[in-house]
Amino acid sequence: MNIESAKALITGGGSGMGREFVLNLAQAGATVSFCDVADEGIAATIAAAKDLPGKVHGFKCDVSNEEEVTKLISDAWAAMGGMTVVVNNAGIFRDGLLVKEDKESGTVKKMSLKAWNQVIAVDLTGPFLITREFAAKVIETKQKGGVIINISSISRHGNPGQSNYSAAKAGLIADTKLWGSELARYGIRVGAIAPGFIDTPILQGMRPEVLEGMLKGVPLRRAGKPHEIFLALKFIVECDYFTGKCVDVDGGLTL
């Protein structure tokens, strides 16, 4: 599939890598829809894309809400006159150790069920709902296939303080393989990208000494650029023989 002819939906497109995906796709001439939960993020992405060749549509949607996802797929499909690419990018963090003993009081602090459920809902249930509704729409409309890209993370290998996030991102890799197998009969390919440390507002907000310590474990000794993740996305879209696999873009980092 040529990137410039894509009709793409990006979840979490109001900031960070999601916005980078929207702008790069629009720069290539693709038609793009994106969703976010923040009105200001939606407005900022639309403003940033206003002079680009591709047309951009913004929608508000909580990807963990089944009714909102069903409406999003329908509305974005109508706005673009179809949909050929879906990027499951929306994600949140609620980091914390599973259990931690306070050295002074001896009390044990536990990761809350709320923190677990919030991350699983957005980072794993969200992609499930988006993928299910997109695939159903492709089948119902007799469209000739499509591409689904799940944004996982190097944390899928297990990162201390991220029981919830690591579980969600590992689950996305399992589903990538599974959905790639199940949906191939309908001409739908499924791929995943696992970024390492990427230069986004989250990293930019870290204390310099903390960030420097993190990057010492990266063989290339730097954070990745959002555009470098887009290059992996472009490869998956354009390589028609790719499905069911994950591309690691992490500077050689292994957790």
Using the Cα atoms of residue 71, residue 153, residue 49 and residue 234 in order, give the sign of their dihedral.
negative
DSSP 61-85: --TT-HHHHHHHHHHHHHHHTS--E
Identify which of 97, 82, 73 has the alpha carbon closest to the alpha carbon of residue 163: 97
Q: Is residue 241 annotated as a catalytic residue, yes or no?
A: no
Q: Which residues of 79-95 are buried (b: 16+ CB within 10 A; e: fewer)?
A: bbeebbbbbbbbbbbbe
Q: How far apart are the first and last CA of the chain?
A: 33
CA angle, corner 78, sides to 6 and 89, nearest 5? Answer: 55
3-state secondary structure 90-116: CCCCCCECCEEECCCCCCEEECCHHHH
26: its two tokens: 């629009």
What is the rounded CA–CA span in Å between residue 12 and residue 22? Answer: 10
Are the C-beta atoms of residues 13 and 56 closer than 8 Å to each other?
no
Selecting among 165, 179, 197, 230, the annotated active-site residue is: 165
Catalytic residues: 165
